A and B are shown apart, each in its own frame.
Chain A
Amino acid sequence: MAQARSNRPISPHLQIWRWGPAMLVSILHRVTGNGLAFAGLGLLLWWVGAIAGGEQSYLTFTQYVWTGTGPWLSSWTAILGKLVLIGLTWAFFQHLATGLRHFVLDIGAGYELHANARWSVLTLVFSVLATALFWAFVLTSH
């Protein structure tokens, strides 16, 4: 990876490069977007379909995704369900923040190196904080 010393200017190169905040949030935008598209929308469909199916199907949904009080398999999937839900919450806030960053970049602003790096890092700070606050509120008020 990083071959050049950090105090020297480097040109973009296929093999000589170093991770920076901008490239991290760029690929995270794609990863979180596709995670939300497949896992997020899939889970949302299961949720709304379970509500439409009535009390019993909603109970099955909550057992497999959250409480784990159903068939033995549900005690395992409920652990996975919690991880996935928290992960999707983070993915949503990260995708939201990097999406807003793309709006700024779309109007031609925010390409200066330091501003770009700063706003990239702030999207990460925002997504972690928002996820923590969201779940703190859910778990303390319910």
Chain B
Amino acid sequence: MGNGTSIGRVRGLGSSHQGTHHWLASRLTAVGNLILLPYLLISLLLLPSYDFASVHGWAAQPVAATALILTFINTFYHARLGVQVMLEDYVHEAPGKLLAWVFVNFVPFAGAAFGVISVIRIALGGA
């Protein structure tokens, strides 16, 4: 921060010069969701029943498992971007802002990792 001159007071408060990537990634993952989530919903609609054997059998198929893994990566990335914008708009003070920043950088990755690992376990046996 500056020494009290007009220019000194505003330096560093402007654009971070990286918003375009955030905006574009949000749109790209939205397009990904536009393919992946209708695939998930239609697949679920077409299942003969929702007992363990049907659902597990469907998710274990290579194409379904691939789509599910992509879904976890893409939805969590998209959600992370959107939740970040929400938190930036509503959380302004120091402790909450720091917590929000840590949250939005940790939790989505943990969630996506758990989803991907689960799908791999379903697809490659175990259980």
Contacts and interface: CB of A to CB of B under 8 A. Distances in A.
Contact of A53 (B41, B82, B83, B127): B127
B75 A41 contact: yes
B121 A52 contact: yes
A76 interface: no
A94 to B, nearest CB: 13
B37 to A, nearest CB: 7
B49 A48 contact: no
A99 B119 CA distance: 28
Interface majority SS (helix, strand, loop, mixed), chain B:
helix
A48 B127 contact: no
Contact of A51 (B59, B76, B111): B59
Contacts, number: 74
B43 interface: no
B52 A137 contact: no
Interface stretch (A5-13, A30-38, A110-118, A119-127): A30-38
Interface string A57-77: 011001000000000000000
Contacts of A42: 111
B59 A48 contact: yes
Interface in B81-101: 82-83, 86
Contacts of B127: 52-54
Contacts of B79: 33, 36-37, 41
State the 3 A-B residue pairs at the shortest beta-carbon distance, nearest first: A37-B79, A52-B118, A54-B127
Interface of A: 30, 33-34, 36-38, 41-42, 44-45, 48-49, 51-55, 58-59, 62, 92, 96, 99, 103, 106, 134, 137-138, 141-142
